[in-house]
Homo-oligomer: A and B are copies of this chain.
Amino acid sequence: MAAQKPSIPKGTRDFSPTELAKRYFIINKIRNEFTKFGFQPIETPSFENYDTLMGKYGEEGDRLIFKILNSGNFAEKVDPSDWETKNVTKLTPQISEKALRYDLTVPFARYVVQHQNDITFPFKRYQIQPVWRADRPQKGRFREFYQCDADVVGSNSLWQEIEFVQLYDSVFTQLNLKGVTIKMNNRKILSGFAEVIGESEKLIDFTVALDKLDKIGQEGVINEMLSKGISAQAIEKIKPIFHLKGDFSQKITTLKTILQTSEIGKKGIEELEFIEKSISVLPLQTAFLDLDVTLARGLNYYTGAIFEVAAPKNVNIGSIGGGGRYDDLTNIFGLKGISGVGISFGLDRICLVMEELNLFPSEISETVDVLCVNFGEQEALQSLKLIQQLRTLGLKAELYPESAKMKKQMDYANKRNIPYVVIIGESELEKKSFVVKNMQTGEQFEHGFNQVSISTFK
């Protein structure tokens, strides 16, 4: 067989030990906080039945779902006329009955419905697994990436929104990523806006345009609204929301005026006010809570609270987390009236932010603490005895596998940034001792075989 030049599919990544040390650091912190907040892990299969995923993410989503080709003779039972006309839309479900998970929310909804009799509600679950999308790869966008989600289903309580604000704060505090802004909005506020301007049936167009305020400015938003048939008069009424000023509670005060005639709008204000008041007496550790009425994320299924987390102001990157409440998530699988609320952490972006701000602690490292140089059979055997003791003490230790030249073994230690090298040569063997070399300072100390202590390697 001719040798193949190795490569990986576009949009995918290999992760090296150095990269994984960082990713595991973040994932462990997230997992730890999820657990402390009472969330329990679940895992779902990488592929779901074709019908479980299709039709849940809109037309664009359907296109971006990776389908798995049926095993065996996939062409056998295909409709002959679809085959002849190469009608790929009709052929796809006939030659593919499985598809790779596109997010963690739909599989979670499927899980809840399928296992409803084994679940104690309210059910707080977290899930940290990869998802796949056939998106065009670009900087920071991949075809395989991890999602880290925490959701609660089975309760409408606003205490859960409060817990999610605290959870965001706790995770980013644990990561030493201080000064993130947790932005909140509420679908009911957006419905209220559409109502007071008399354009309730244009809610989606209205919010999609409003969501772009950051990017295209007030002028741009207004033009888009006009182009969607929202009247200039209506827009005039809503202009104050383009420059809401002050902190969360000051914005609430302004909104009370704007939305005074909308019942649903006032309900949204009430919910946000409850959250803000509670958080003010349960102060956040390092994050800020803000109200952003332009937030609309995934409006298609959010029905109440909407969350988005922005990195600290000195980092120019999009959101590093988001979420919201969806009142009827499991309905697509036949279980009605189960409200859910959840948030997600953007692992890749959090990693980028932490690199940019140099926030990874220097202790995280993929290397061993101690390398034993290999001088031959008897010396290596004695080294392995020492290594066993070091590992029992919790140290990461290894033997260089061959009795190669000293320089080669030291080069290996240097390239791998191994902090301590242990030398047991012929004379040490005789003296029943080992030499420890600190690779940073160059200092060397000799110890007896019976003087193995963790403090020697600190």
Residues of A within 8 A of B (CB): 1, 3-9, 12-17, 20-21, 24, 35-38, 40-49, 51-52, 55, 63-64, 66-69, 71-76, 83, 86, 88, 91-92, 95-98, 100, 110-111, 113-115, 118, 120, 122, 124-125, 130, 132, 134, 144, 152, 155-157, 159-160, 162-163, 166, 170, 278, 281-282, 331-334, 366-368, 374, 380-381, 384-385, 388, 391, 394-399, 401-402, 412, 415-416
Contacts and interface: CB of A to CB of B under 8 A. Distances in A.
Nearest to A142: B45
Interface centre among A24, A75, A157, A159 (most CB of B within 10 A): A159
A14 B111 contact: yes
A122 B416 CA distance: 11
A49 B10 CA distance: 9
Quick one: copies of this chain in the complex? Answer: 2
A66 B96 CA distance: 11
Contacts of A395: 36
Contacts of A134: 71
Given A48-B8, A366-B41, A69 B71 contact: no
Contacts of A385: 281-282
B36 A412 contact: no
Contact of A332 (B3, B37, B91): B3
Contact of A282 (B40, B144, B368, B384): B384
Nearest to A64: B71
A144 B159 CA distance: 38
A385 B280 CA distance: 12
Given A83-B86, A134-B71, A282-B384, A9 B45 contact: yes
A334 B55 contact: no
A113 B6 CA distance: 7
A14 B44 contact: yes
A3 B331 contact: yes
Nearest to A80: B86
Given A46-B132, A331-B3, A68 B67 contact: yes
B43 A20 contact: yes
Contact of A157 (B67, B124, B401): B401
A430 to B, nearest CB: 18
Q: Which of A20, A96, A402 has the most CB of B within 10 A?
A: A402
A190 to B, nearest CB: 24
A366 B40 contact: yes
A415 to B, nearest CB: 4
Given A75-B91, A282-B381, A381-B282, A144 B42 contact: no
